Amino acid sequence: MIDCGLDWLGNFERLHPDAIVLTHAHPDHAWGLRKGAPCPVHAPKETWRTLPNYKIDHPHVIEEGGPTKICGINFQPFSVEHSILAPAVGYRISAGHACIFYGPDLLFIHNRAAALKDVQIYIGDGAAITRSFVRKRGDRLIGHANVRTQLGWCAKEGVPLVIITHCGSEIVTGNETKLAKELQKIATDRGIDAFIACDGMMLDVK
């Protein structure tokens, strides 16, 4: 299971996860663990540092650099810009010939070319489609890259398929038909197949 937000509190145990991997310590990604976890929990040291003092019986640190094998799957963290208070990573996840990149909250990916090299599916941040979702804190930019920007990254790095999830209000409350047409144009212009996955809804903008 990747991330365990507050809405999973008291519920995720029914999934019987073998392991939980965290991208960062924001409530919608990690606070489902406030009563502990029935399995090992893996996260970068910065996530452990910023996570509230939950009782995790089997904590593991995912080291920067090379991949960490968890349940037979390789997780390689790549630092992403998102939050100052809760530093985040995206994961390059591989097993056998399959390789995806998962980054649910990000403004940009540090070392993006390496993160997306030979990736078959990019699963990204759905906070906004085209509007800006960037804030400035001192000399740092934080927030979320919009979908249009992420599709541009994938086009540049040769990623053929994009799934947008962790969707914000622009998608959740938007008109499905209008959203599909808007995303179809953006994706087609970049030669990418793209989908939005949101609350059981899948918009195919292929």
In order along its 206 residues, the chain shows pLDDT tens digits of 999 999 999 999 999 999 999 999 999 999 999 999 999 999 999 999 999 999 999 999 999 888 999 999 999 999 999 999 999 999 999 999 999 999 999 999 999 999 999 999 999 999 999 888 999 888 899 999 999 999 999 999 999 999 999 988 888 888 878 887 888 888 888 889 877 776 544 444 44
Cα 174 from chain centroid? 21
User: Hey, is 66 helix, strand or coil?
Assistant: coil
Does residue 184 share a domain with residue 92? yes
Does residue 72 share a domain with residue 57? no
Does residue 103 share a domain with residue 198? yes
In this predicted structure, what is the pLDDT of residue 155? 94
In this predicted structure, what is the pLDDT of residue 199? 54
Does residue 160 share a domain with residue 91? yes
Does residue 125 share a domain with residue 111? yes
Alpha-carbon torsion, ordered 17, 23, 25, 31, to 10 deg: -30
Does residue 53 share a domain with residue 78? no
Closest CA to 107 of 141, 71, 148, 62: 141
List the domain range (segments joined by +) for residue 130. Answer: 65-204
In this predicted structure, what is the pLDDT of residue 200? 47
Does residue 47 share a domain with residue 71? no
CB count within 10 Å of CB 191 equals 11
Does residue 71 share a domain with residue 56? no
**Helices and strands in the chain, H and E counts:** 6, 14
User: pTM for the complete prediction?
Assistant: 0.92
